[in-house]
Homo-oligomer: A and B are copies of this chain.
Amino acid sequence: MAAKFASEKNVKFMLYEVHDLMSLTKLEYYSMHNKKAFDMILDAGMQMAKDMYYPIFKEMDEVHPELADGTVKVHADVKKIMKEAGEGGWISATFPIEFDGGQLPTMLNCATHHMFGAANYSGSVYPGLTSGAAKLITSFGSKELIDTYVPNMLDGKWQGTMALTEPQAGSSLADITTTAYPQEDGSYKIKGQKVFISAGDHDGVENIVHLMLAKIEGAPPGVKGISLFVAPKYRPTADGKLEYNDIAVSQVFHKMGYRGAPITELAIGDKGECVGWLVGKPHHGLKYMFQMMNGARLDVGNAATSIACAAYYASLDYAKQRPQGRKLGQKDLSKPQVSIIEHADVKRMLLQQKAIVEGSLSLILQCHKYEDLETAAADPEEAEKYNLLCEILTPIAKTYPSEMGIISTSNAIQCLGGYGYCQDFPVEQYYRDIRIHPIHEGTTGIQGMDLLGRKVVMLEGKAFKLFKEEMEKTLVMAEESDVYKEYAGLLRDALADIEEVTAHKMKVAATKGAEAFLADACLYLEMFGYMTIGWQWLLQALMAQKGLDGGKAKKMKDLYEGKIITCKYFFKYELIKAKALKIRLMEDDYLTAEAPASCFND
C-alpha cells in the first residue's frame, strides 16, 4: 500500500468549501460539468497517483537517465505514464472541447496534478509539460500546426517541451542566439544550442516537440526579436512517417534530485537540417511563451507544494509512531515514552509544514480559479480583471511554495532525526527534489523583480488594487466574527505595511533609479508572500468555522479544527516575519547595490 502522500479529503475541502469549485459550473463554459463528475475525476486521479506514480517514485531517483545511441533512456514506466495520461484524457483535461479536450476547470486539474506531483514529481512532469506545450500551439499556432502536432501530444504519443534557455542566456533571455533562417516554403532552418531542457529527449515517446525560442535572422536585438517555433525531433512527412530533424542531445545533466526526468542539452541543426515552423507572428515569441510560462510557474508552485505535502505526511506518520522521551515535567522514567507528536516542538515543526503546504495549495487553487474565471468571462473587462489577479499572484504562487517548501521539507527531515537523513525514508529525496523549484521557470530573483518591478506598478497599480478588493471580501467576512476579527486586524496591518513599503520603493524608483529600487525585490516578494498566504489561511479558517458551525458530518471535525489551529499558527508564527522584512525594506541605504565586488576579496 502506498504511504499517504496527499489528502483527497483536504483537496475536496479546498475545492468545494474554500474555493467553491461548483460556482464555475454556473458559467456557460463549464456548465456541462457537475459535482459527481468532479468527484469521480478526483478519485481517479488519486487512484492513478497511488497505482502508477507512487510505486516508481524511488526507482526513478535511483538511476540517472542516460544518453545511449542518441536517445535518453528513462525509466521503462514513462511509456506507461504518457500512454495512460494521454488515453485517460489527463493531458487534454483543460483543453476546449473543439480540441477533443475535457474543458475542465484548471482548478480541478491543479488538484489532480497535486496528487500526481506528491506521488512522484519527476513522473508527473512528462504529461504536464506536454499539456503546456500543446496549449501554446492551440493558442497561437496555425491550423496546420495544430493538426500536425496537437492530437499526438494530447494522446501522449509525443512529448512537448519548452526550449528557452541557452548556455549564455538563462535569466537573460534577451541574449539568446539560436537563429532561424527563413526558407522559401515558409519554414525556417534553425541553428543553435539549448540547455536545461526538461524531458528534452527520452525513449518513452515516439517524438519530442520543442516549443523553441529563436531569433529570425536580422531580427531586432533583445526580447523584441524573439520568435516562437515548433521544432520536433522528428519531422512528420506527408506520408505519415517520421524523419530525423537534426536535434541531437549533447548532454544529460546529472542532478541532485528530480532525477526521474532528464534535463538535456540540445544541439540544434548542427548539420544544417533542423526545420522549424513559426508559431504566430514573428518577434512575438516571448509574449506567447509567457502564456505557457505563467502556467508553468503555477505548476512549479504546485509541484513544490506537492513535494512538501508528501514530506509532511511522511514526517507526520513517523511522528505518530515514533516513541521518544516523555512530556516535559514528567519525571517518572518507568512510564513509557510518548510518541514524538506529543512534543510541542515537534507539533511546531508539523504545524509549520501544514501551514506552508496547505496555505500554498490554497493560493495556487485561488490563482487557477481566477484563470478559470478569465476563460469563462462574459466580457473583456471581466476577463482582464481575472487575468490581472492571476498576473499579480503568479510570482508569489511560484515562489512562496518553492522557497518555503525547502524549509518545510527540511522540517520533515528534522522530525525524523537521523533517520530522515538516510535513504530508508523518503524525506531526503523530497528535500533533494524540491530544491529545483526556486530555480526553474524564473528564479526567485526574477520573480521578485517581476512582482515589484512589473506587476505591482502595471496599469497604475490596477492589479494590486484588484487584489486588495479580493482580500477585502475575506476581511469583511472575518470582521463579523468575534474570533477572527483579531486575525483580520493582523492581516489589515500586514497590508498597511506592504502599502507603506510599496510607496517607499516607488519613491526610491523615482529618485534613485532601477537598481536601488529593485535591490531588495526578493525580500519584498517574501513579505508579500506572508500576507497573501495569511489571506488564504484566514479564508480557510472561516470556511472551516462555517463547516463546524453548520454541524457537518463528524468525520470533518478534526480537519476543520486543524484548519483553525493552523490559521492561528500562521498568523502567530509566520506572518510576523513580514514585520522584520518591513524594517529592512523601509531603510534608505542601498547596501547590496553599492557594495563593490572587491568586498568579497580575501
Contact = CB atoms under 8 A, between A and B. Distances in A.
Given A334-B221, A565-B591, A572-B589, A418 B170 contact: yes
A518 B439 CA distance: 37
Contacts of A281: none
A25 interface: no
Contacts of A413: 435, 439
Contact of A421 (B324, B439, B601): B439
A561 B578 CA distance: 30
A369 to B, nearest CB: 21
A4 to B, nearest CB: 10
A254 interface: yes
Contacts of A406: 410
A178 to B, nearest CB: 16
A213 to B, nearest CB: 15
Contact of A569 (B195, B328, B515, B591): B591
Contact of A175 (B222, B337, B421, B568): B337
Nearest to A578: B580
Contacts of A188: none
Interface string A330-354: 0001100101011111111011001
Interface string A302-323: 0000000000000010001001
A457 B421 CA distance: 33
A185 interface: no
Interface string A408-420: 0010011001101
Contact of A333 (B174, B577, B592): B174
A23 interface: no
Interface residues of A, number: 111
Q: How many copies of this chain does one complex carry?
A: 2
Contact of A256 (B174, B431, B579): B431
Contacts of A591: 351, 565, 568-569, 572-573
B435 A418 contact: no
B602 A562 contact: yes
A523 B445 CA distance: 27
B424 A253 contact: yes
Contacts of A284: none
A437 to B, nearest CB: 10
Contact of A435 (B421, B423, B589): B421
Contacts of A569: 591-592, 595
A422 interface: yes
A438 to B, nearest CB: 6
A172 B348 contact: no
A295 interface: no
A583 interface: yes
A342 B513 CA distance: 16
Count chain B CB atoms within 10 A of each CB in A346, A421, A440, A443 and give the residue with the most.
A421
Contacts of A510: none
A481 interface: no
A328 B518 contact: yes
A456 interface: no
B580 A255 contact: no
A170 B439 contact: no
A428 interface: yes
A28 to B, nearest CB: 34
A519 interface: yes
Contacts of A520: 344, 348
Interface string A574-602: 00111111011001011111011111111
A583 B592 contact: no
Interface in A164-201: 165, 168-172, 174-175, 195-196
A521 interface: yes
B439 A562 contact: no
A130 interface: no
A596 B596 CA distance: 52
9 contacts: A165-B418, A170-B417, A222-B333, A253-B423, A328-B514, A344-B590, A431-B435, A562-B599, A578-B580
The 4 closest A-B pairs by CB, nearest first: A344-B519, A558-B601, A172-B325, A562-B599
Given A168-B324, A569-B592, 15 more contacts: A13-B602, A221-B334, A254-B422, A254-B423, A255-B422, A256-B421, A256-B431, A328-B514, A343-B445, A345-B518, A350-B600, A559-B602, A562-B598, A565-B595, A573-B584
